[in-house]
């Protein structure tokens, strides 16, 4: 493939991209939605330019296992260039999309601009702290592999400090974990930390035998896993109670200062580890009219995932909000929606290029699952609810099948099998130190 004329690119501040006569589809984000779209455009008469701020795709559903030392980070991230190496019509550029110039059909990025015939927004979502500066300062979200590594370091560093601290109170503060939000991410993380407490603390941290480790799971609503049927919420509550997780329902955290979480019922929890899984919002890129964003910062799209007021701009996955009778508040922000929208949009773009009618999106819900510890899970599939070991086997199989690459599937299977046999969590290392930075009043600040 010939590269473009570099001088011309430099003059216009453009990203260097090989010339092509085929229509150009520029995609922001290689998450579940963007990557599926790109893969489905293989061998089609289009030039695809994938822009992502990272050089890898991450398998978000297993981030909590990295955060809790269950698996290695490399097992769930995959370089785009390797995934797409056999797809000749794709160009990958690592860059951050910074703005859309709708008048000139051009995307601006941190490394230059790129003109498009079709633009696909698939930049997903970010953690939503709902404007609370103390959460932004002290709360660690879980949205990326770096977040997962930050949580792992935070907890392990605090355990190391607890081991050499003499006062019982200080030991207990350093080894208390507060998880806010009892959706799948919060529940799964609480279960994994509870097993860490049960099987790892007694062996690895004899200094903490008297104080132990306390895990709180705090939810503003009246049940765990609110998107699942009530029966499964109750099962989940039982499983987590068996693992000694302290569950607080109908309670909101008001603030987190220093290592003190203040709740709206007057209770105060002293915890050096504060993990936020209570909200996400769309990840915006400048340049679209503000009217296209809803309150959750998701972009309104029609039934074809087309952005309002833009003929050749589409949004798919978490960032897109498509409303219909079945989903009056938009589709759930889950991987299956993202994958199915990516698949259909690839087909529709080809049809548009060939002047054919396009198909509207119809979501096929394949069910939801969440695991609690290493032998229990809950699942809601085709209107059937079940839990226990069968759900856990199913959860494991579905996640293994979804991981990209045979090598990663094998590595994860070995890790899980080892963990199952030995109750060991092998990846308890602080590779890079975690520190909170910046100013509590201004918010945001992690390294």
Ligand X SMILES: Cc1cc2nc3c(=O)[nH]c(=O)nc-3n(C[C@H](O)[C@H](O)[C@H](O)COP(=O)(O)OP(=O)(O)OC[C@H]3O[C@@H](n4cnc5c(N)ncnc54)[C@H](O)[C@@H]3O)c2cc1C
For ligand X, give the closer residue by CB, 33 or 301. 33
Span near ligand X by CB under 6 A; candidates 150-158, 266-274, 330-338, 372-380: 330-338
Spatial contact of 396 and 389, defined as CB atoms under 8 Å apart: no
Pick the binder of ligand X from 143, 152, 235, 446 (CB under 6 A): 143
Residues 335-364 that bind ligand X (CB under 6 A): 335-336, 338
Instruction: Give least dist CB 221 to ligand X, A.
Output: 18
Q: Which two tokens stand for residue 2?
A: 């010939």
User: Which string of x and - marks every residue 8-27 that binds ligand X (by CB under 6 A)?
Assistant: --------------------
Span near ligand X by CB under 6 A; candidates 58-66, 249-257, 290-298, 439-447: 58-66
- 34 interacts with ligand X by CB under 6 A: yes
Write the DSSP symbol of residue 360. Answer: P
For ligand X, give the closer residue by CB, 283 or 348. 283
Write the DSSP symbol of residue 325. Answer: S
User: Which string of x and - marks every residue 169-208 that binds ligand X (by CB under 6 A)?
Assistant: ---------------xx-----------------------
- 48 interacts with ligand X by CB under 6 A: no
For ligand X, give the closer residue by CB, 160 or 386. 386
| Chain centre to alpha carbon of residue 150 | 14
Q: Which two tokens stand for residue 225?
A: 């896993």
For 38-89, the DSSP string reads HHHTTTSSSEEEEEESSSEEE-GGGHHHHHTTSS-GGGGEEEHHHHTTT-TT
Which candidate, 317, 287, 314, places its Cα nearest to that of 120? 314
For ligand X, give the closer residue by CB, 201 or 245. 245
Distance separating alpha carbons of residues 203 and 328, to the nearest angstrom: 51
For ligand X, give the closer residue by CB, 32 or 434. 32
- 37 interacts with ligand X by CB under 6 A: no
Span near ligand X by CB under 6 A; candidates 29-37, 69-77, 158-166, 302-310: 29-37
Spatial contact of 100 and 107, defined as CB atoms under 8 Å apart: yes
- 51 interacts with ligand X by CB under 6 A: yes
Who's near 238: CB < 8 A, 6+ residues apart? Answer: none
Instruction: Give least dist CB 99 to ligand X, A.
Output: 10
Distance separating alpha carbons of residues 313 and 114, to the nearest angstrom: 14
For ligand X, give the closer residue by CB, 174 or 285. 285
Please give the residue whose beta carbon sits closest to ligand X in the complex.
31
Spatial contact of 391 and 377, defined as CB atoms under 8 Å apart: yes
Residues 202-241 that bind ligand X (CB under 6 A): none
Instruction: Give least dist CB 110 to ligand X, A.
Output: 8
Instruction: Give least dist CB 106 to ligand X, A.
Output: 15
Residues 237-296 that bind ligand X (CB under 6 A): 283, 285
Distance separating alpha carbons of residues 257 and 277, to the nearest angstrom: 18
Number of residues that this document lists for the chain: 447
Residue 224 neighbours by CB distance under 10 Å: 27
Backbone φ and ψ of 53, nearest 5°: -70, -20
Per DSSP, the three-state class of 270 is: strand
Q: Which two tokens stand for residue 89?
A: 């019509």
- 63 interacts with ligand X by CB under 6 A: yes
Pick the binder of ligand X from 27, 49, 60, 192 (CB under 6 A): 60
Side-chain half-sphere CA neighbours of 44 within 13 A: 22
Which candidate, 321, 296, 295, places its Cα nearest to that of 121? 321
For ligand X, give the closer residue by CB, 97 or 271. 97
For ligand X, give the closer residue by CB, 243 or 315. 315
Write the DSSP symbol of residue 432. Answer: S
- Binding residues for ligand X, per CB under 6 A? 28-34, 51-54, 60-61, 63-64, 96-97, 122-125, 142-143, 184-185, 283, 285, 317-319, 333-336, 338
């Amino acid at each position: 493939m010939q590269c473009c004329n570099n001088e011309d690119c430099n003059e216009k501040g453009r990203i260097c991209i090989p010339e092509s006569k085929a229509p150009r589809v520029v995609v922001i984000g290689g998450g579940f939605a963007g990557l599926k779209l790109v893969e489905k455009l293989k061998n089609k008469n289009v030039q695809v330019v994938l822009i992502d701020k990272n050089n890898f795709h991450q398998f978000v559903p297993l981030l909590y296992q990295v955060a809790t030392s269950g698996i290695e980070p490399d097992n769930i991230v995959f370089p785009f260039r390797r995934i797409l190496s056999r797809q000749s019509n794709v160009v990958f550029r690592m860059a951050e999309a910074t703005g859309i110039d709708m008048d000139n059909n051009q995307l601006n990025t941190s490394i230059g601009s790129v003109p498009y015939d079709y633009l696909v927004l698939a930049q997903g979502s970010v953690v939503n702290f709902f404007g609370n500066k103390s959460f932004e300062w002290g709360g660690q979200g879980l949205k990326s592999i770096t977040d997962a590594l930050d949580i792992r370091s935070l907890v392990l560093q605090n355990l190391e400090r607890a081991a050499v601290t003499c006062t019982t109170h200080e030991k207990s503060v350093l080894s208390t974990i507060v998880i806010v939000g009892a959706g799948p991410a919060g529940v799964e993380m609480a279960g994994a930390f509870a097993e860490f407490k049960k099987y790892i603390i007694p062996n690895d941290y004899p200094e903490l035998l008297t104080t132990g480790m306390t895990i709180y799971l705090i939810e503003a609503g009246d049940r765990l896993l609110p998107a699942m049927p009530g029966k499964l919420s109750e099962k989940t509550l039982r499983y987590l109670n068996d693992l000694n997780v302290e569950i607080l329902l109908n309670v909101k955290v008001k603030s987190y200062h220093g290592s003190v979480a203040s709740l709206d019922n007057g209770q105060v929890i002293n915890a050096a580890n504060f993990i936020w899984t209570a909200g996400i919002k769309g990840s915006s890129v400048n340049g679209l009219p503000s009217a296209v964003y809803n309150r959750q910062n998701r972009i309104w799209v029609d039934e074809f995932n087309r952005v309002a007021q833009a003929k050749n701009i589409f949004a798919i996955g978490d960032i897109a909000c498509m409303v219909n009778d079945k989903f009056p508040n938009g589709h759930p922000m889950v991987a299956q929606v993202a994958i199915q929208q990516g698949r259909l949009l690839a087909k529709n773009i080809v049809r548009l290029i060939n002047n054919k009618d396009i198909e509207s999106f119809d979501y096929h819900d394949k069910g939801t699952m969440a695991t609690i510890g290493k032998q229990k899970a809950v699942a809601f599939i085709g209107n059937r609810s079940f839990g226990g070991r069968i759900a856990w086997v199913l959860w494991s199989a579905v996640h293994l099948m979804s991981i990209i690459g045979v090598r990663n599937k094998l590595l994860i299977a070995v890790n899980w099998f080892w963990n199952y046999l030995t109750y060991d969590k092998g990846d308890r290392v602080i590779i890079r130190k975690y520190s909170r930075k910046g100013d509590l009043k201004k918010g945001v600040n992690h390294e």
